[in-house]
Chains A and B, each alone.
Chain A
Amino acid sequence: MPVFDLSVTPLRELNQALHSIAPGANDTAFEVINPRGSHSVAVGIDSPVSVAVQGSVGYYCAGMNDGGAVTVHGSAGPGVAENMMSGTVVIEGDASQYAGATGRGGLLVIRGNAASRCGISMKGIDIVVEGSIGHMSAFMAQSGNLVVLGDAGEALGDSLYEARLFVRGTVKSLGADCIEKEMRPEHLAILDDLLAKAGVEGASAAEFKRYGSARTLYTFNIDNADAY
């Protein structure tokens, strides 16, 4: 297993190695030690590698991940797994702002809490947060699923499009055009599947409420001016 000690090895070497995996290579399990809050750890992965990061990371860990399985045994700074295309990113601790921002696919699991703007502008990613999320989460979220086992902060789902939001705890307030929606069997199935994929135990899909777009702001209308 290749091990990169970021206390002595430049970040560039790690990311270059991750980008240089030949198709069909065997040695695809990487370990990163002493990340010490480094930014851009394991960004731009474009093959099915696995990366175990032993410690906490700074901004944009696993950014634009496309097919990799990244686990951070610590907490993550802002923008973890931003614009993820596919693969899995698991944060054992907490995540800072913009977790999973603009993500297009794959699964982001945060075992702790996520700060504000979790899932902002998400475009197909699935995000499961075992703790709570901060304000303005899922702002302008386009598609994908955001699952929160704890509580959601203010203005959840403001101006969202077709993303589905599932919250087990309380929601401090809903943002513009975000409403509670009926939980139908297909939503329970989606939720069951995501909870299983995320390895969440002790939570039942029936405990969640679903939120989504009222679709009243989909077409520009001057009479909506006071809604923004």
Chain B
Amino acid sequence: MSYQNPPTPPRKSATFDDYTLAEIRRAAATGIYDIRGGGSKRKLPHFDDLLFLGASISRYPLEGYRERCDTSVVLGTRFAKKPIHLKIPVTIAGMSFGALSGHAKEALGRGATLSGTSTTTGDGGMTDEERGHSDMLVYQYLPSRYGMNPKDLRRADAIEIVIGQGAKPGGGGMLLGQKISPRVAKMRNLPEGIDQRSACRHPDWTGPDDLEIKILELREITDWEKPIYVKIGGSRPYYDTALAVKAGADVVVLDGMQGGTAATQDVFIENVGQPILACIRPAVQALQELGMHRKVQLIVSGGIRNGADVAKALALGADAVAIGTAALVAIGDNDPKWEAEYAALGTTAGAYDDWHEGKDPAGITTQDPELMQRLDPVAAGRRLANYLKVMTLEAQTIARACGKNHLHNLEPEDLCALTLEASAMAQVPLAGTSWIPGKNPF
């Protein structure tokens, strides 16, 4: 019997993995980068890497179902005559009519209203359905100014000046022609069926000094009634927060790279910006150094999925969170019941992200009249309200276990981190130690 050397097993490259190879082939075949919706899909340090310590001998807990744990939050207490009073610290992030169907926007408004929280317009302006179904509606003031008019500005409950978003800090947008229905085109003053670029910079101001004057103008136009938010992507949270406060913001909205977009380049989503976990503490530090923590409220977003994420974001110093992707999932996005249709589109439920193509089987990210009808805005609104209720109950459960009678009383001292990365980013000790990388010696 002759001896045979054992074969060398086939070994795939960790650098050139199957996904990377497929992308190279796709690029070579098509000559175009991949455009998609959603936020970063890569594995990032996130709230999962944090744990609450819970009560012990030195801290005592509150009784579940009996002792009160408040969840209310007031936004816009700095300058606005009419601040926004939310029952829960979870808001609905800005998403445009155009990117989303009218029914989807209505569902978000209904769900938010049932839950005592706010929803937010997006690029493309405010629709009557959205205003009518949203008790508290935040009006985004975007670089494109599509659909922007002073009448809608005045009938909003707050104004959010969008500087950037987590999925693409420094980037504009593109709504492809297939989603430009006659109504969308009219709202945006553009011909039907052409691709619509959304600018990345505001057309009439540049830099923080101008922003201060722009905020003054918006306050004067709305008679100082509306809270003015400034939304930034997670790029330089310390400086951007400080500059937003200096410019006169009532509220800073900070969006990490897990935050979704209707459509942009995959390379942008995955390679520009920081995860929300890395952004919160620098923003809070800026607020604290300026003596403005809790005076200028901080809303954070990007990958918030459940009540634990809410509690962790608030413990790190945020006043509220915003959800976008999770809200879409709650109303029916990527539902496995449409699996056959997702498969026909070359994808699968849970992975569908070609929102810009307007073929969403769930009828949410589309302007197709037939697909839109699949979403019942009343039932979808109820689902969103249920989901928001669960998130709130979960956050309360954790807060009570930490002995807090308001979600805002959660603090970094209630947390530890499972990984060095999360410990450094969240500036809480590595579990089992008192060590925070970069803060104190081991």
Whether the Cβ atoms of A44 and B149 lie closer than 8 Å is no
Q: Which of A25-33, A75-83, A194-202 contacts B (4 or more CB under 8 A)?
A: A75-83
Which residues of B in the span 153-178 have a Cβ within 8 Å of any Cβ on A? 153, 174, 176-177
Whether the Cβ atoms of A64 and B150 lie closer than 8 Å is yes
Residue A53 at the B interface, CB < 8 A? no
**Assembled-state Cα–Cα distance A162/B205 (Å):** 24
Which residues of A in the span 60-108 have a Cβ within 8 Å of any Cβ on B? 60, 63-64, 66, 78-79, 82-83, 85, 97-98, 101-102, 104
**Assembled-state Cα–Cα distance A11/B223 (Å):** 11
Shortest beta-carbon distance from A8 to chain B in Å: 18
Residue A1 at the B interface, CB < 8 A? no
Whether the Cβ atoms of A140 and B150 lie closer than 8 Å is no
Name B's interface SS.
loop
Whether the Cβ atoms of A60 and B217 lie closer than 8 Å is yes
Shortest beta-carbon distance from B419 to chain A in Å: 40
Residue A56 at the B interface, CB < 8 A? no
Chain A residues touching B, range: 35 or more
With A40-B217, A140-B197 as known contacts, state yes or no: A162 contacts B144, CB within 8 Å.
no
The interface residues of chain B lying within 8 Å CB-to-CB of A43 are: 217, 220-221
With A58-B213, A143-B189, A220-B195 as known contacts, state yes or no: A121 contacts B145, CB within 8 Å.
yes
Residue B210 at the A interface, CB < 8 A? yes
The interface residues of chain A lying within 8 Å CB-to-CB of B51 are: none
Identify A59's interface contact among B153, B203, B217, CB under 8 A: B217
The interface residues of chain A lying within 8 Å CB-to-CB of B203 are: 82, 98, 101-102, 117, 120-121, 139-140
The interface residues of chain B lying within 8 Å CB-to-CB of A102 are: 145, 148, 203-204
With A60-B214, A79-B204, A101-B204 as known contacts, state yes or no: A123 contacts B221, CB within 8 Å.
no
Shortest beta-carbon distance from B170 to chain A in Å: 16
Q: Mark B196-222, 1 if CB is under 8 A from A, else 0.
A: 010100011100001001101100111
**Assembled-state Cα–Cα distance A78/B217 (Å):** 12
Q: Which residue of B lies closest to A59 (CB)?
A: B213
Residue A46 at the B interface, CB < 8 A? yes
The interface residues of chain A lying within 8 Å CB-to-CB of B145 are: 83, 102, 121, 123
Whether the Cβ atoms of A142 and B190 lie closer than 8 Å is yes
**Assembled-state Cα–Cα distance A63/B153 (Å):** 13
Interface centre among B203, B213, B214 (most CB of A within 10 A): B203
With A101-B203, A117-B203 as known contacts, state yes or no: A64 contacts B195, CB within 8 Å.
no
Whether the Cβ atoms of B213 and A44 lie closer than 8 Å is no
Whether the Cβ atoms of B220 and A12 lie closer than 8 Å is yes
**Assembled-state Cα–Cα distance A222/B216 (Å):** 41
Number of cross-chain contacts by CB at 8 Å:
103
Q: Which residue of B lies closest to A41 (CB)?
A: B220
Residue B350 at the A interface, CB < 8 A? no
Whether the Cβ atoms of B213 and A39 lie closer than 8 Å is yes
Q: Which residue of A lies closest to B189 (CB)?
A: A123
Whether the Cβ atoms of A39 and B204 lie closer than 8 Å is no
The interface residues of chain B lying within 8 Å CB-to-CB of A220 are: 174, 176, 195
Shortest beta-carbon distance from B140 to chain A in Å: 14
Residue A145 at the B interface, CB < 8 A? no
Identify A12's interface contact among B148, B199, B205, B224, CB under 8 A: B224
Chain B residue total in the interface (Cβ 8 A): 33
Q: Mark A1-37, 1 if CB is under 8 A from B, else 0.
A: 0000000000110011001000000000000000000
Shortest beta-carbon distance from A156 to chain B in Å: 16
Residue A161 at the B interface, CB < 8 A? yes
Whether the Cβ atoms of A85 and B197 lie closer than 8 Å is no
Which residues of B in the span 77-124 have a Cβ within 8 Å of any Cβ on A? none
Name A's interface SS.
loop
Which residues of B in the span 172-191 have a Cβ within 8 Å of any Cβ on A? 174, 176-177, 188-191
Identify A19's interface contact among B199, B213, B223, CB under 8 A: B223
Shortest beta-carbon distance from A161 to chain B in Å: 6
Q: Mark A116-140, 1 if CB is under 8 A from B, else 0.
A: 0100110110000000000000011
Residue B21 at the A interface, CB < 8 A? no
Residue B31 at the A interface, CB < 8 A? yes
Whether the Cβ atoms of B220 and A85 lie closer than 8 Å is no
Interface centre among B144, B204, B216 (most CB of A within 10 A): B204
Shortest beta-carbon distance from B46 to chain A in Å: 33
Residue A159 at the B interface, CB < 8 A? yes
Whether the Cβ atoms of A124 and B213 lie closer than 8 Å is no
Residue B32 at the A interface, CB < 8 A? yes
The interface residues of chain B lying within 8 Å CB-to-CB of A143 are: 189
**Assembled-state Cα–Cα distance A218/B205 (Å):** 26
**Assembled-state Cα–Cα distance A195/B34 (Å):** 48
Whether the Cβ atoms of B210 and A83 lie closer than 8 Å is no
Whether the Cβ atoms of B217 and A218 lie closer than 8 Å is no
Whether the Cβ atoms of A140 and B194 lie closer than 8 Å is no
Whether the Cβ atoms of A159 and B197 lie closer than 8 Å is yes
Q: Which residue of B lies closest to A117 (CB)?
A: B203
Whether the Cβ atoms of B216 and A83 lie closer than 8 Å is no
Chain A residues within 8 Å of B, Cβ to Cβ: 11-12, 15-16, 19, 39-40, 43-44, 46, 58-60, 63-64, 66, 78-79, 82-83, 85, 97-98, 101-102, 104, 117, 120-121, 123-124, 139-140, 142-143, 159, 161-162, 218-220, 222
Contacts beyond the supplied A59-B210, A120-B204, A218-B194: 17 A-B pairs with Cβ under 8 Å: A11-B220, A15-B220, A39-B217, A44-B221, A60-B213, A66-B150, A78-B204, A79-B204, A82-B204, A83-B148, A97-B204, A98-B204, A101-B203, A120-B203, A140-B203, A142-B190, A161-B190
| 29 A–B contacts from the bound complex (CB under 8 Å) | A12-B224, A16-B223, A39-B216, A39-B217, A44-B150, A59-B213, A60-B217, A64-B150, A64-B221, A82-B203, A83-B149, A101-B203, A102-B145, A102-B204, A117-B203, A121-B203, A123-B145, A123-B189, A142-B188, A143-B189, A161-B190, A161-B191, A162-B190, A162-B191, A218-B191, A220-B174, A220-B176, A222-B31, A222-B32
Sorted nearest first, the 7 A-B pairs with minimum C-beta distance are A44-B221, A79-B204, A98-B204, A101-B204, A218-B194, A64-B150, A123-B189
